[in-house]
Structure 1
Amino acid sequence: MRVEIHGHRGARGLWPENTLPGMSRTMELGVHALELDVALTADRRLVLTHDLTVSAVTSADTRPVTPGDPAFPYVGKPINSLTLAQLRTLDVGVRLPRHPDDPFALTQVAMPETRMPTLGAVLGLVNAYAAESVRVHVELKSDPTRPALTPDPELYTEMVVDELDRHNRLRNAAILSFDWRIIGYAAKLAPDTRRFALVELDTLGWNGPLGDDIPAAARDAGATTLSPEHAMVDEKLMAQASRAGLEVAVWTVNEPALAARMLDLGAAGIVTDYPDRMRALWEERGHELPDPVEPLKPVGV
């Protein structure tokens, strides 16, 4: 069985998360899949962001989009209350605050003046690299307990599927969500696209009573892969996933010793902020390494 390295938010431990330069460098490092997060703006644009409100950790205000904009400052405001133009004024290239209590601030290369990209821009970038060996894993951020911040799941899923289709990526992508309503809609709209049911201890109740067999519940919701928080993974869960016919991709695993333990339990994928560490582990264990994507070059060079 091939085991895969999935770059989390690109590679959050190395470069600014959910950004074009971060995605470029992660592809050039070499991963099987790029994982990224999307949310929907007030003007119905799909943008890359992990949070449903503008994060003070990954985003910094620079200026209002127009003088006297009453919505400014934008940090802390709901993503769905702001337009793409407003969000594009944010600097998302420096992790804040930069202090020793944040492990990523110690390892992440700052890229000041980086702007929040759209999903379309990322898919265009991947296609510009001709990165057919790299799957794009799109997590649709959705929180059923906060409906004011969450788009209609059916419309939201349809928009993401349409964007993937527009860039000829449906067969080389995956749709991910903790909100399994989205998994069900994706199964109907894009049956040939992989679907990852995300699960963690804190959000187990989001999808109703799951019983004692979470993998079976995920399969019944339309998932093709179970993607649990690593703290949930044990022999019982892995055996249930096998009976349900689901592969398991474990998140977020940053230490090689933990990754080795997950692989020994049968994980098919490791979601990591540090794909460089996982590449070293893969080489040590003799697993197939994902090929680095060739850097972009000017035409004629």
Structure 2
Amino acid sequence: MTRHPYLSPEPPRVLAHRGLVTPADAAQGVVENSFAAVAAAHAAGIDYVESDCHLTADGAVILFHDDDLSRVTGDPRKIADVRLPELEELMADRGGLVTLPQALGAFPDVRFNLDVKAEAAAEPVGRLVAPHAERVLVTSFSDDRRRVALAAARSAGAALRPATSPGSSTVARLVAALAVGLRGTARRLLADVDALQIPERQGPVRVLTPRLVRAAHAAGVEVHVWTVNEPADMERLLDLGVDGVVTDRADAALAVVNGR
């Protein structure tokens, strides 16, 4: 399997989870997924930013994790019910709202790992990333949303499809197939994806295993683990053969990777 341009050069990779918010930034009111958080990751030398996509009431794709504003701003409304200008005002003293076109345009050297959180956002995300497909990975907990976004990118004229990571149902089937030795099923589930982006555990179930890493690598697929914030865990996972860590402490993770 040919390596997607998104996954070059060679791993390991540090993916800044929702950008980078240092304690000093947080003290100034900066929040995750803000323009300032993306800028901080870029300034720290991080090549990859993991973020999330929602659609506003007036059809703008923004970088935001939750489907409502309550945790970040104290406003209980849904993102889908609020127009872009009001969201920009709410985020003005929190690091600044960033739309997907703004992120792609303002940070041309950053590779974006985009989790499509809302069904309505899938098709617009695909259209918007089409000209940037070489530096975008599209994922979602929902394989249907992920596939809609990838199809939209192709329809919008993407020279190649964005990189992609499978949804949670596909990952669950892969873990089950490997547990019972169904290697052919595992190979089929790994076809047409570029990375497995997974937690180390899901409740009582261990998702990341040496067997999974071996199977992924045999298929030419990278393994990225989220969300890893302790340097000792980063070292342990990299020793296991993991290709990337998604982390809130991207600056610390970069120091770990550079020290190996």
- Work out whether the TM-score is over 0.5: yes
Report the equivalent of 1:137. 113
Q: 1:251 aligns with which of 202, 205, 226?
A: 226
Q: How does 1:146-225 map to 2 (within 5 A)?
A: 150-151=119-120, 156-165=121-130, 168-188=131-151, 189-190=153-154, 191-199=160-168, 204=169, 210=173, 212-213=176-177, 216=187, 218-220=189-191, 222-225=192-195
Unpaired runs of at least 5, structure 2: 1-9, 26-30, 155-159, 179-185, 202-206
Does the alignment pair 1:29 with 2:44?
yes
Post-superposition offset of 1:218: 4.7
Maintained 8 Å contact 1:198/1:226: no
Report the equivalent of 1:291. none
Return closer, same or farther for 1:40/1:217 CA change in 2, 3 Å cut-off.
Answer: farther
**What secondary structure, in the 3-state scheme, does the structure 2 residue paired with 1:183 have?**
helix
Q: Deviations over 1:217-265 (max 9, x none)?
A: 6535x42211001222121221232344321111111111111111112
C-alpha distance in 1, partners of 2:244/2:80? 32
Return closer, same or farther for 1:182/1:219 CA change in 2, 3 Å cut-off.
Answer: farther
Report the equivalent of 1:116. 97
C-alpha distance in 1, partners of 2:232/2:209? 15
Maintained 8 Å contact 1:54/1:77: yes
C-alpha distance in 1, partners of 2:248/2:140? 18
Return closer, same or farther for 1:262/1:46 CA change in 2, 3 Å cut-off.
Answer: same
Q: 2:64 aligns with which of 49, 52, 60?
A: 49
Q: How many residues align?
A: 226
Report the equivalent of 2:28. none
Post-superposition offset of 1:48: 1.5
Unpaired runs of at least 5, structure 1: 61-74, 93-111, 143-149, 286-301
Per the normalisation by structure 2, the TM-score is 0.77
Per the normalisation by structure 1, the TM-score is 0.67
C-alpha distance in 2, partners of 1:34/1:40? 19
Maintained 8 Å contact 1:8/1:273: yes
Maintained 8 Å contact 1:218/1:226: no
Report the equivalent of 1:59. 73
Post-superposition offset of 1:158: 2.7
Q: 1:7 aligns with which of 16, 19, 31?
A: 16
Identity %: 26
Q: Counterpart amino acid of 1:194? A: A
Q: How does 1:226-245 map to 2 (within 5 A)?
A: 226-231=196-201, 232-245=207-220
Post-superposition offset of 1:51: 0.6
Who wins on radius of gyration, i.e. which is larger?
1
Q: 1:260 aligns with which of 209, 214, 235?
A: 235
Does the alignment pair 1:89 with 2:89?
yes
Report the equivalent of 1:294. none
Q: Deviations over 1:79-118 (max 9, x none)?
A: 11221123223137xxxxxxxxxxxxxxxxxxx3533221
Q: Counterpart amino acid of 2:162? A: T
